[in-house]
């Protein structure tokens, strides 16, 4: 791969005892990847490596690792990309980061004039890149021999600001523009809402990957009731595969809410299509909020522990709304990304555990249903509880924003 003084990175090598075809999780915009028996492949997906290469050892055989020389961060802005083949190694599949990378790539491609651009490792977020002209997407793996055709490999996991991502999020789009010395992109215009002949179609997308960012039932109910009272056609978007989605639906049903639900989105591409159908939408701090940036769809996003201005970035299609909470241990937004668990089984954040940031215990693994129920319905972290307590205030802010955008 030459031409660079580079840092070595290891990618697992594997082969299969039989031909194989594996669909990409959470995707229907990209065809399944296919492989041939006996050929060797490399993967940059931790999930694929763990679940398929090692999890299906009867069919797959791990063969060690390939040393890939990736370009040091300090050379990203100076490397002569013109007419070169560039391979980007992608971070884990957090949709928000991948939306930012897609937006960065659009600017990078215009300036760099590379001969070829390929992406390896998007995994369950790979639909974000579907349809990008001039970009080849390898969601989980690629042929080992194909590595040779790339002049340069760039590992986007190396963005310096990502090192503290568990304590403070990153405006990934802005960070990449700076690291590649690209012009600062313009702030987007306020997204209008055209008046319709009938009721406006409004989506509420309350789910996030963590209960500390999912909108609580009281807030969802307050938003829906307020918007319905204004004559809007409101739909709640849920995912029955998630514990917190099922718990949220049960809580809303128990409250006697007569709401319409959408529960059949199966992929990132489905979400993108659905977001495009709403006249306006209200989001938790989650992937769908970031997906709305791609087509600048109007709406509002409600944040708890994460700073709204940082995650909204330059995009004015969304009204940012922030939970208001302060204690001796923290003030929202604190930046914490995941709940923690003490040795005696208590789960929460700095405020709910009564500890300073430097004394936080370990991040828990995948929360079980009982834990999700406690965090969502019984003892939410304080800044999430503050959302429910101020449901009317948030409802009024959303309705005022929607009214102000009508044209």
pLDDT one-digit tens code per residue, 292-327: 999 999 999 999 999 999 999 999 999 999 999 999
The number of residues in the chain equals 407
Max intra-chain CA distance, the chain: 65
Cis peptide before 333 (omega within 30 of 0): yes
Pick 368 or 104 by higher pLDDT.
104
Domain assignments of the chain as residue spans, ordered by start = 7-172, 201-405
pLDDT tops 90 at residue 363 = no
Mean pLDDT computed over 159-170: 89
Cα–Cα distance list, 14 to 32, 117, 137, 155 (Å): 18, 24, 19, 20
Taking a C-beta distance cutoff of 8 angstroms, is the pair 255, 287 a contact? Answer: no
What are the pLDDT digits (tens) for 329-353?
A: 999 999 998 899 888 888 899 999 9
d(CA 205, CA 275): 10
d(CA 49, CA 121): 11
Q: What is the residue whose two structure tokens read 């999430």?
A: 384
Strands 60-70 and 7-16 turn out to be antiparallel
DSSP type of residue 328: S
- Of 334, 337, 345, 339, the closest CA to residue 366 belongs to 339
d(CA 384, CA 123): 30
pLDDT band at 2 (very low <50, low <70, confident <90, very high): very low
User: In the prediction, which pLDDT does 3 show?
Assistant: 37
Strands 40-43 and 116-120 turn out to be unpaired
What are the pLDDT digits (tens) for 198-215?
A: 999 999 999 998 999 999
User: In the prediction, which pLDDT does 341 show?
Assistant: 87
pLDDT band at 182 (very low <50, low <70, confident <90, very high): very high
Q: Is 367 helix (H, G, I), strand (E, B) or coil?
A: coil
Residues 6+ apart with CB under 8 A from 24: 30, 32, 33, 123, 124, 126, 127, 139, 140
Cα–Cα distance list, 237 to 207, 232, 266, 276 (Å): 8, 16, 12, 13
DSSP type of residue 285: S
- Of 11, 46, 32, the closest CA to residue 54 belongs to 46
Q: What mean pLDDT value characterizes the chain?
A: 94
**How many percent of the chain have pLDDT more than 70?**
97
Q: Is the dihedral of CA 239, 383, 282, 275 positive or negative?
A: negative
How many C-beta neighbours within 10 Å does residue 273 have?
Answer: 12
| Residue 366 φ/ψ, nearest 5 degrees | -70, 120
pLDDT band at 4 (very low <50, low <70, confident <90, very high): very low
Give Rg (Cα) of the chain. Answer: 22
User: In the prediction, which pLDDT does 337 show?
Assistant: 87
pLDDT tops 50 at residue 1 = no
Helices (H) and strands (E) in the chain, counts: 12, 18
Stretch among 28-37, 153-162, 197-206, 356-365 having the lowest mean pLDDT: 356-365
What are the pLDDT digits (tens) for 232-289?
A: 999 999 998 899 999 999 999 999 888 999 999 999 999 999 999 999 999 999 999 9
| Residue 170 φ/ψ, nearest 5 degrees | -120, 135
DSSP type of residue 156: G
Mean pLDDT computed over 177-181: 98
Looking at the domain 201-405, which fold is it?
A: Rossmann fold (3.40.50)
pLDDT tops 90 at residue 163 = no
What are the pLDDT digits (tens) for 6-56?
A: 456 899 999 999 999 999 999 999 999 999 999 999 999 999 999 999 999
Pick 109 or 364 by higher pLDDT.
109
């Amino acid at each position: 791969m030459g031409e660079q003084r580079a840092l070595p990175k290891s990618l697992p090598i594997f082969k299969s005892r039989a031909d194989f075809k594996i669909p990409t999780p959470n995707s229907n915009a990209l065809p399944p990847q296919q492989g041939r028996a006996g050929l060797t492949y490399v993967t940059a997906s931790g999930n694929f490596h763990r679940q398929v290469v090692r999890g299906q050892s009867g069919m797959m055989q791990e063969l060690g690792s390939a040393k890939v020389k990736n370009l040091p961060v300090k050379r990203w802005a100076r490397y002569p990309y013109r007419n070169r083949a560039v391979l980007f190694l992608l971070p884990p599949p957090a949709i928000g980061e991948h939306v930012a990378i897609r937006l960065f790539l659009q600017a990078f491609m215009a300036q760099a004039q590379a001969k070829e651009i390929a992406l390896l490792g998007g995994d369950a977020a790979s639909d974000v890149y579907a349809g990008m002209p001039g970009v080849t997407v390898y969601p989980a793996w690629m042929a080992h021999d194909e590595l040779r055709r790339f002049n340069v490999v760039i590992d986007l996991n190396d963005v310096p600001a990502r090192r503290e991502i568990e304590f403070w999020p990153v405006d990934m789009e802005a960070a990449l523009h700076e690291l590649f010395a690209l012009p600062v992109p313009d702030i987007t215009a306020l997204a209008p809402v055209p008046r319709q002949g009938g009721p406006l179609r409004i989506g509420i997308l309350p789910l996030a990957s963590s209960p500390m960012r999912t909108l609580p039932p009281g807030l969802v109910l307050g938003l829906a009731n307020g918007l319905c009272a204004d004559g809007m056609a409101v739909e709640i978007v849920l995912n029955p595969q998630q514990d917190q989605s099922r718990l949220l639906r049960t809580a809303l049903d128990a409250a006697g809410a007569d709401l319409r639900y959408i529960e059949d989105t199966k992929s990132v591409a489905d979400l993108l299509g659905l977001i495009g159908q709403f006249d306006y939408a209200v989001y938790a701090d989650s992937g769908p909020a970031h997906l709305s940036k791609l087509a600048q769809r109007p709406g509002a996003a409600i944040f708890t522990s994460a700073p709204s201005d940082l995650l909204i970035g330059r995009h004015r299609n969304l009204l940012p709304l922030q939970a208001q909470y302060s204690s001796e241990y923290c003030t929202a937004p604190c930046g914490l990304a995941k709940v923690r668990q003490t040795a005696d089984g208590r789960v929460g954040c700095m405020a709910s555990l009564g500890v300073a940031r430097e004394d936080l215990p370990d991040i828990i693994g995948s929360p079980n249903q009982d834990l999700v129920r406690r965090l969502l319905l019984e003892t939410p972290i304080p800044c999430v509880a503050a959302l429910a307590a101020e449901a009317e205030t948030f409802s009024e802010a959303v309705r005022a924003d929607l009214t102000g955008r009508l044209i």
